Structures are given as structure tokens and as C-alpha cells.
Chains A and B, each alone.
Chain A
């Protein structure tokens, strides 16, 4: 059974850094592309980043490019999102998601972790 559990959210001051983790179970992250998606309070979903199944390719939304880094640790079966130079507009619930192996679609989601950027 596929499970994704995010952690690492919290309150952080503007300009500071935070690292989110996503522990996967029921599958191996080395076999699937993985994504991060966020949702600001009361707003819609926004695609953030993707890492390819072999880890060789990483792509980002323009809004986070140069500030966020997606990575994974195969030994821990865990996905990460390193967020630097945080801004108030980065405040959101961050979802970890698995991309299906047969199409470019997200088939499983975590429950999300809330990041609040505020002084």
C-alpha cells in the first residue's frame, strides 16, 4: 500500500531556510518520478518541482527556481525539498506526490505539511 508522509513544516522568518521531508512506503522512490505541489491558504494547487525516476533530472516552477532544491535519499526512501530565501508568498501546504509510471500524472499524494513564512 502506497503511503507518503510529509514532515518538516512550521513557522519560519522571511529569508530563512527550511527542509521538507517525504517518507515513502509501499514502493521505492528510485523507481518513480516524484513531485512537490503546494497550496496557499484558501487558494488553488501550484506545481513546484519534479525529480525524474533516476534522479538525473530536476525541474522547477519559475516561482521557486534558484531558491528551492528537490532531492531524494534512496537508502531512506525519502524525498526532500530544500527551501531557501523563503518569502511570505511561499506560505502554503506542501504536498509530496508520486508520478505514475505509465503516464505523466500524479497518482498518489501525501497529506501535506504546512509552511508559514512570517516575521
Chain B
């Protein structure tokens, strides 16, 4: 149950795009379609922004998109806005009804 690997921080200017990676193994990210992404603002509960690798929940803008290749999943945020500044976590099913989070990535909007 090792945490998935994410960059500690990424940054971008308003209007630009950023991509956050999430690297696991064939036992978690690479083995299942159940990869999701959460946005967390300071002091708040996480909010789901992507699930099943590339699906967006109702109410999440299409600026948020997800993908996966092999053991690495990615979250791309286009048209960066100030409110996108937050921590982002990937989350994957890891088999035997267990789950694992990524270490988290701090997104700074410059």
C-alpha cells in the first residue's frame, strides 16, 4: 500500500494549462479503470473532479480532464483560474477492495 507518486508542486499562469501526473504500479493505477482525482482547498474536504480515469462529475467544468497510460494517470487543467489553486490528489483502486492515494500536488496559479 505505498502512496502513488505525484509531483509535490506545479504552477501556471491564468489561462494556461497544467498537467499533474500520478504514477503507480500494475497493481493499482495500471491495473484498473478506477482512478479518480480530488481537489482540496485549505481547511476543506476534498472535492471529486475526475473519476474512472476521464469522467467528470456533474458540475465540474470541462477545463478538467483526465487520462491514463500504463501505470501513470494524469490530470490536466486548462484555462487556469485563480480558484483552481489548491492541492490535488489522485486515488486508485488497488485490488482486494483496498485503495491508495497519491502524495498530493500543490497547484499554484501565478
Give residues in A with beta carbon < 8 Å to B: 35, 37, 44-47, 50, 52, 57, 59, 61-63, 95, 100, 103-107, 109-112
Contact = CB atoms under 8 A, between A and B. Distances in A.
A111 B45 contact: yes
Contacts of A112: 45
Contacts of B99: 35, 47, 50, 104
Contacts, number: 67
Interface of A is mostly: loop
A69 to B, nearest CB: 16
Contacts of B89: 44-45
B96 interface: yes
Contacts of A46: 3, 101
Nearest to A44: B104
Interface string B12-53: 000000000000000000001010101010001111100110
Nearest to A95: B45
Contact of A44 (B36, B45, B51, B102): B102
B98 A105 contact: no
A40 to B, nearest CB: 12
A103 B51 contact: yes
A109 B36 CA distance: 14
